[in-house]
Amino acid sequence: MHRQRNSSSHGRIAPRALALALVVALGAPVAAPAGATTSSASRLANCRVEMPTLEYARGHLTVATDNPVSAPWYVQNHPANGQGYEAGVVYAVASQLGIARHDVSWVVAPYASSYAAGKKAFDFDANEITYVKARARDVSFSSSYYDVHQAIVALTTNPIVTNHSPAQLRTYRYGDLAGTPGLAYITRYIHPRTATQSYSTMAALVAALKSGAIDALVIDTPTGNYMTTSQLVDASGNPFATVVGQFPSTGDHYSLVFQKGNPLVGCVDLALATLRANGTIASLTKRWLGDYTQVPTIKP
């Protein structure tokens, strides 16, 4: 286990590195070497030079996620294989920062602990964590690496599958995980007549749906699709639940999560901006999340 470095001159964040990254994070011009420009490319080049002083474990980009993890974000519960949307984004960010694939180290961090206040034993966490203003008091977030749509998941036999006008949506019983964007979406946009049930674990939520205790849940579209094709299936693998439809975007998005004030955020944002501009994000989206863009949109 690596300790957070805060005393030796070898591990301390250099003043120049700290100033550089903070300026980058604020979007202000960065002083460039003589003859260079202050373009994003040159600022990213500066980040590559400064990376060893910014990393949690010098010489390695330490990335956290939960265990287990699932498709389409990761494949075979093995982030280091680079398969899946989030794994692809992580390795693409690392490449932009001049970090070789073998220098990316993966560690486990439970989902809820990733955005809790306090010191982090990683550079950033990649685990479908939605940016929430209240969470930003305790941790720092990158810019978006995936814009999230919320979707309804229900058993195929439930009337909501075919009857889901805005007025009809209010008549159903919903449940969701505590503290999630799905739960907030139900409250803010659907306004059901019956109080929404809150569950502390996914297993309890799925059990409530299967038993008929709730009619539907709301969750991000890719995860909803995974549930209906991998979790809510019978012994023969046939699905008995479906993604009814997805709602229009509300601006929710997934971000990489950092210890509060980590100066690495600015450099990662530069890398993400480059990946959006050069088509890498679009390519990863098409490969791993393309099916989910075809889910019909419904109005709350």
pLDDT of residue 48: 96
pLDDT of residue 137: 97
181 and 90 in a common domain = no
Give a yes or no: residue 9 inside a domain: no
Element (H, E) at 187: none
DSSP type of residue 33:
P
140 and 26 in a common domain = yes
Give a yes or no: residue 87 inside a domain: yes
Q: Please, how many CA atoms are within 13 Å of residue 143, restricted to the half-sphere of its CB?
A: 17
220 and 100 in a common domain = no
CATH number at residue 192: 3.40.190.10
DSSP type of residue 227:
I
128 and 156 in a common domain = no
181-203 as b/e: b if 16+ CB within 10 A: bbbbbbeebbebeeebbebeeee
Which tens digit of pLDDT belongs to each residue from 130-188?
898 999 999 999 999 999 899 999 999 999 999 999 999 999 999 999 888 899 999 99
Q: Can you list the positions of beta strands (E) in 10-111?
A: 61-65, 104-108
Instruction: Write out residues in the chain with pLDDT < 70, as ranges.
Output: 1-38
Could you tell me the residue range of the domain that residue 46 belongs to? 15-147+254-294
Give a yes or no: residue 126 inside a domain: yes
113 and 23 in a common domain = yes
- Domain count along the chain: 2
Which residues is 220 bridged to in the sheet?
150
Q: Which of 70, 266, 254, 19 is nearest to 144 (CA)?
A: 254
What HEC string does 68-85 produce? CCCCCCCCCCCHHHCCCH
| Cβ atoms of 220 and 149 closer than 8 Å | yes
